[in-house]
Each structure stands twice: as C-alpha cells, then as structure tokens.
Amino acid sequence: MNTKNSVSIFPFGKMLQCGLVLAAVAVAPLVLAGDSTKEQYHRSSKHSPLTQINRETVAKLDKAWEYHTGDLPPADMTGKLIAFEDQPSMIEGNLVVCSIKRRIIALDPATGKQRWTFDPKDPLDENNIGMRKCRGVGHWVDKTADENTSCKSRILLGTADYRLLAIDAKTGKPCANFGENGVVKIPPSKPELFPGEVMATSDPAVINDVVVVGSAVADNQRVGAPSGRVMAYHARTGQFMWEFDPVPRSESDPAMKSWAKGTDNFGQGNVWSSMSYDNDLDLVYLPTTSSSSDFYGGDRVGDNNYTTSTVALRGSTGEVVWHFQSVHHNVFDYDVPSAPLLIDYPFEGKMVPALVQNTKMGIIFVLDRATGNPLVPIEERPVPQDGKVAGEVLSPTQPFTVGMPTAVKHGFSPDDAWGFTPVDKWLCKRKIEALNYGDIYTPASEKGTIFSPSMGGGPNWGGGAYDPVSHIMVVPSNRVPTVMKLIPREKAVLKKGPQKVEGLAMTFDVEGSPYVPQIEPLLSPLGAPCSSPPWAGLIAIDIVKKEIVWDVPLGSIEKLMPVPIPMELGTPGAGGPLVTAGGLVFIGYTLDDMIRAFDLKTGEVVWSADLPAGGNSVPVTYEVGGEQYIVITAGGHSMYGATMGDSVVAYKLKK
C-alpha cells in the first residue's frame, strides 16, 4: 500500500497462524562535522566515511544508551498510520530527534541525556487524529548573522496541521523573526475533507536560503483531491517565495500537452517523501507521486507530466530545469518513493555529478543531476494492455534502464505459485489462474490483477545507500505481490466512511470515480503468501558494472510464529540502510525487532541486536569524543503490524 497518506492498514504483525505465514503487501542517515558541501553529499548518498566500527570490530558493538521519547501510540490504533521513522540529525552538538508527535528533542549524543525539547502543539496529534510520523527536520544557518544572534542556526519542521516551524537549534525556542513567532501556516489548495487531508510529514529541504516543503495528501479519497504543490519560503523570514504544482495548471507549460483532457479536476502529484538538493547547482530534486486517483486514469488521458517523476527545480525561483518521468500515466500507485541519491558516477572516462533514483518497481535510473540526461541508457518498452477496465487509456510503453538489474522481480504467473505444503501451493495456483496476471504494468481489472511488485514496492521511502569506493548500492524491498481489483461503482457495496476493511481487503470509495478500488495481499486460502520467500530482501548492486553482488533475505519469521523456529524468510517492513567505509551495511526494517550489520562485500550478517520495537527507520552514525556511534529510532510501524514503542537506541564499541 502506498504511503502518501493511507487511512487504514493491513495488520501485517498478525502474519502467522498455525505455523503459516500471513504476509502482504530519506534522507538524513548521516550527519558529520565539517563543511556543508561534504555533509550534503553524504546525507544524499547514505554513506559514512567513519571506519572505527568495521568488519573486524563490529562484533564488539554494544548498546551505549537508550532514550524514550514518551510519545507512545494510542491503545486503539484502528485506522491510524503511526510510524517512528525519524532519522536523527546532529545539529549544534545535539542529536536532534523528531517524535511521532513531531516533538523536537535535543539529546547529548554521547549519553542520550535530554538537553531540551520543543512541542509544536499540533492539534491533530493532541486530538489523536490522522497520521503520526516525522521523517526528520531541516537545518539552516544564517551566514550573515553574528555568532550570538538568536536563531542564527535554526531547525525547520513540518507539522500534521500543515505548518512550517522554525526554532533555535541551540535552545529550542521559536524564531520570532520567522513568519508569526516562528510559524508559517501553509494553505492547502482547497478546503480539506477532514483535518489532516494535507499535512507535512517529511523533512523540509533547505537549499541555500530557501526552505522547500512537500506534503502528504490522503489518497483514494476523491478524484478532485487537493493539489500536491510544493511550497518554498525564505529560511530567514518565512516569506513565501514560490510554489510548484506537479499537476500543471497553465496552458503555457509544455507539460500540459501530456494531459489530453486538461487538469482542472485533478490534484495530488505530491512529494510525500524526502527531497534531495545540490547547493552548488541551486537544484532541489522532487520525487513526485501519481495524480488523483491512483488506479483509474480514464479521465486524465496522457502521460501526466510532472507526476510520478523526478523533477529538478531551481531552488531560488522554483523554475523547472529538467524532469524525468519514471511511470507514464501512473495507474499502479507506483509513486517515486524516496529521495534520489546524489553521487559521483564514472561516465565516458570522467566522474559526473549524478542522481540515482530508486523506484517502487525496483528499476534504477541513473541521471546527470545537472541536466537530467541518462548516464545509463533508458528505453521505452511495450507493456501489457489486456484486461484494462472500460474507459482506461494506458500508456503503450514504459521506461526501463538498459542492462541494469532490477532490485525486485517483475511480473507473476501460476508457475510462480508457492506454498508451505503441496496443498497450499495448489490452492495458490488455482487462485492465480482466476486472476489477471503477467509482466509488470499489467493493468488493474474488474476480476482482479496481480501487481508484482506491489503498489507499495519493491523499494519504498527508505531507498538505497551507496558506497563510492566499490560502487555498490544496497536496497531493501518487500516482495509479496498484491491483488488490485476495480469494481464498477454501481456494483460496489460500501459502508459509510472513506473505505471498508474486510479481512485483509481494503475498498476505497473514491469520490468522483466510476470505479472503486479494492486491494489485498496475494495469499492462499490457508493464509500463506502465494509467492516464494524471501518476502523481503536486501540486494547489493554494482551500479557501474550493472551486476548483482549479492541478494539475501531480510528478517526472520521466528518471533512471528507460534513456535519460535529461526527461519530467515524475510519479513515485510519499512526503512532504509546506512553504508559505512568500515565495509558495513546497517539496517532495521524487519518485523523481528532487530538491527543488523551486513558485510558490504558478501551480504553476510556479521552483527545483530534485539531492538525494543520495530526499527522501521534509517540508522545514523556519528563520532563524538573519539567514539563512533550507530543510532536507530525503534518505534515500529502500524501499517506492517510491527512492535510499537518510543525508543532511540545507540550502540558503540566495548572498551
């Protein structure tokens, strides 16, 4: 399921019954002292040059401290999307954490002791409404201010009630000269259906003196959804500077040619994930989503630029410099889910500033980040057209990279049926044969279509991490297909409310659409996945040689079974990796409440530790007092049924 702002969720944590598995369906992983250019580079590649913790020493890694935010999920989480996805940042000597209620907490990075907190007093959080998550904060330093000036260094934060806040990075006090006493209220493009239909959950991008804010817009609520426009404000004053709507609104915009029926009735295309930016180029890179609605596009015929694209904007003006669309006419919910990695890539005998965009489809696009030109060839290939619903006009082709492996398998057929027992496998094969199936981009249908990868991926918001020495990129992915059905509205039976949940199937009443989408995981009648394990994996790809280096299961189902038998079959989850120059990959992600370190060269697990809750975030690393620390927020993810909590856990080497 996509994470633009899903209102209800699959209970993945209750995956196992009678030994059978029930399965379904960013970026600041590193903050170092040093000049801003180096910090920006590393933040955008999820790579750390620190080596104290390495292949030889990692076995001595031990818990250094644990901090509890005190922001716990409610006892009743029905219909709520709650995830502690924050990736802490090192700012002004503090380890800055953003809780699920978007409280900012400054910790001593060596001891975990709290130094100060800031509460945005978000009414949605206080009234237990909507989505609770925070993927991080932005940071800006006023280079024109004196050292002792209040708010010279400031933290920037988006909220659930769609505000942009600025607070002093040293004290946690609001910046009085920003907006109205540190607050800018961001206006949605139209009145909300309900509080929290539009919110800011990911970290703002701060490019030079401009703060760029994306949004999470509740999907599958209405065809005429609010705009997913990106808003930009001056980092010093909070003054509005520019906006960019991924759904073009002007006939003079060349993207309008890809909307045959115009754009008056459509919204979204929002940037719910994190953005990347290059200060030297004055470019901010937006990973955009599909337009409304997600699974039927007969009323928005055409490729629908700039949606489902990587869009490079001039940071100072909001001007479109280049854009690349990864899915034409997206009716698969294949949003661009993660901030692109900014790396240097060898091309025609020299190193080129590059952008690597991971996608839910597992297709890896490598582009020149100044021009958008492909550094790995891209070709348009014919895609399936059979089975589409009446009124739909699909794109006949989709873009694929040439010669680059994908991070997840494409397509599904009866030959792929799997089961714990021959009976289970046979039942799966019968179920698959009754559905539409085929290669990737087989369209949604009235009888149901297998989406493989699922509309949630494949890779999702955690994205990948890149090692500049070996050219290895490591990417986690979920690998259980989903069944997508479009029910004609006149045949749909709906209860009051935005969607009906029955078992593991979700039905969305999309206002204004002739079809009602129904989504469920591909499971046998006995409750096991119909796809072979691993159900989540971690893959390492040499993106220069275009070769898979290793591919391993990610997660054990041991804690999910009635009898705790260790079985590394992979567990669906969320989060992302951190790669270090010590030759290690650190990642949480899984439903077994573990953090693991993998050998970057071999994929072997060389260290692991139990977490107090699901580590559905991205680990960070830093050095303080001559010691390297690994830190992860462990609070779980309700969409996957992970163990919930409020912990920030740090590890360092035993002395």
Does residue 306 have a cis bond before it (omega within 30 degrees)? yes
Distance (Å, rounded) from C-alpha 545 to C-alpha 556? 31
| Exposed/middle/buried for residue 139 (C-beta within 10 Å: 0-12, 13-18, 19+) | buried
Distance (Å, rounded) from C-alpha 302 to C-alpha 472? 36
In eight-state DSSP terms, residue 187 is P
333, 424, 467, 592: the active-site residue: 333
Q: Using an 8 Å Cβ cutoff, are 135 and 114 in contact?
A: no
Distance (Å, rounded) from C-alpha 324 to C-alpha 364? 13
Sign, CA dihedral 597-602-603-608, equals negative
Is 542 considered catalytic here? no
Q: Is 515 helix (H, G, I), strand (E, B) or coil?
A: strand
Distance (Å, rounded) from C-alpha 238 to C-alpha 157? 12
Distance (Å, rounded) from C-alpha 573 to C-alpha 589? 5
- Within 8 A by CB and 6+ apart from 541, the residues are 364, 404, 405, 407, 472, 473, 474, 475, 547, 548, 549
* DSSP labels, 61-80: EEEEEEEE-S-PPPS--TT-
Distance (Å, rounded) from C-alpha 433 to C-alpha 427? 10
Joined together, the tokens standing for residue 546 give 């275009």
Q: Using an 8 Å Cβ cutoff, are 647 and 612 in contact?
A: yes
Q: Using an 8 Å Cβ cutoff, are 313 and 229 in contact?
A: no
What amino acid positions are annotated as catalytic residues? 333
